[in-house]
Structure 1
Amino acid sequence: MQLNIYTISHPIIELLTNSIINTKNNKYKYKYKYKYKSDYKYKYSGFLLMYEILRKYIKIQKIYIKHIYSIKNLYFINSSTKHIILTDLSNTYNMITEIKSLIPDIEIIHTEYKNQNNYQLDRIIKERINYNKSKYNNINIFILDIVISDDKITRLIKLLENQTELSLNNINIACIACYENILSHLGKISPKLKVYTTKILYN
């Protein structure tokens, strides 16, 4: 496995995600019932997870405004870089409700695949990414999920890599937890990917 895997060990995130992923008989059990998704733990764990990740990618521009007797400093996010989150909103809505307060112009694209041949969704994603690529000097893609437990994510990565001309250096995976076998599979097909998670789970 040659993936760049970053384990986020922020203590507050660990406290919040501890109740999302139960430890039982030395195995992690993912609580995937809808009622848990409305829990505040999803809201704040998603916010803090993206905060920790975006700190590395947000570039700040400093502007000085000179007054007669003073100088005022203003800070702006670098407008030449676009940040995009690809996520299945039916699963992660409560995780991303506060993310726009971090970066107001961040774009969120819904990526729910109801079947394996959802070419309409593929077309929409491809068009949105290519539109932004023509408009901005740099694009950072974040594929966000709660727990990555299957290989549906590979379809999305292949779409981005083959039909948007994005480099794998611009594609990042962000999740609360991910299974080791999925990471191994991703490492074989896309070894340059960056994965940000709080826990690696084992079957």
Structure 2
Amino acid sequence: MRLNIHTLIHPTIQKLAYEIIYQKSHKQLKDANNEKTLGMLIFYEILRKWLKIDNIYIKKVDILEEKCLLNQLDKYLIMTNIIESYNILADVQRILPESYLRHIDFNNINNNFYCNEKLEEYKIIIFEKFLKNYRIIEIINYLQKNNQINLNYVQIICLTCNNNILRYLAKKYPQLNIYTIKIN
């Protein structure tokens, strides 16, 4: 079975992502507005198939009012390095109000990401700007073995990802969904 890799090809997403990738490689000052906009666009693209909206109709004496509400039973856990990606995730609460952030340092192998929460209650989004190390494998292993998480409820999002990591994930966890802008 093959890994589900979704490349985000929208021109605006591509342009903003390129600017952020270029800034990192050339150590230039970041434009926080570009990162916020990119975060909103990426999460919009990923969540439009995952979010469920309930339409409620309220009949009043002389009018019919319609409201659109997010499914209140769905909870989302975003696992990310908050220090590196706070700008990108700054406005995600606007489109995903029932979401919680959990800090993970993908670069520090000694960092403890284990948590006591019942993770099976959440749809999990793992966000890493530049997926370039195998720490993601440890996280997926932990989620599946210790929490019996259904990997259909886990999505990985990154601006760029390493081809070798994708190959390894494809062999071990072919049911994962990975959203990226560029594969290195």
The size of the alignment, in residue pairs, is 184
Equivalent-residue separation in structure 2 for 1:116 and 1:145 (angstroms): 15
Confirm whether residue 175 of structure 1 aligns to residue 134 of structure 2: no
Give unmatched runs, 5+ long, in structure 2: none
- One-letter identity of the residue aligned with 1:51: Y
Match of 1:69 in 2: 62
Q: Following superposition, which runs of at least 4 residues in structure 1 exceed 6 angstroms of deviation?
A: none
Alignment partner, residue 116 of structure 1: 109
2:146 pairs with one of 163, 172, 176: 163
Q: How far apart, CA to CA, are the structure 2 residues paired with 1:188 and 1:30? A: 30
Query: How far is 1:32 from its partner?
Result: 7.6
Structure 2 counterpart of 1:148, one-letter code: L
| Pair 1:30–1:187, CA change in 2 (3 A) | farther
Q: Deviations over 1:65-112 (max 9, x none)?
A: 110111111111011211111101111111100000111121111112
Which sections of structure 1, spanning at least 5 residues, go unmatched?
23-28
Within the candidate set 25, 47, 72, 1:54 is matched to 47
For 1:58 and 1:64, the matched residues in 2 are separated by 19
Give 2:34's aligned residue: 41
TM-score scaled by structure 2?
A: 0.91
Q: What amino acid does structure 1 have at the position aligned with 2:165? A: I
Alignment of 1:1-203 (within 5 A): 2-22=2-22, 31=25, 33=27, 35-36=29-30, 39-112=32-105, 115-119=108-112, 121-122=113-114, 124=115, 127-128=116-117, 130=118, 133=120, 136=121, 139-201=122-184
Tell me, what secondary structure is at the counterpart of 2:130? strand
2:127 partner letter: L
CA distance in 1, matches of 2:162, 2:106: 20
Question: Shift of residue 113 of structure 1?
Answer: 5.3
Query: 1:26 corresponds to which residue?
Result: none
Give me the identity figure in percent. 32
> RMSD of aligned C-alpha atoms?
2.1
With normalisation by structure 1, the TM-score equals: 0.83
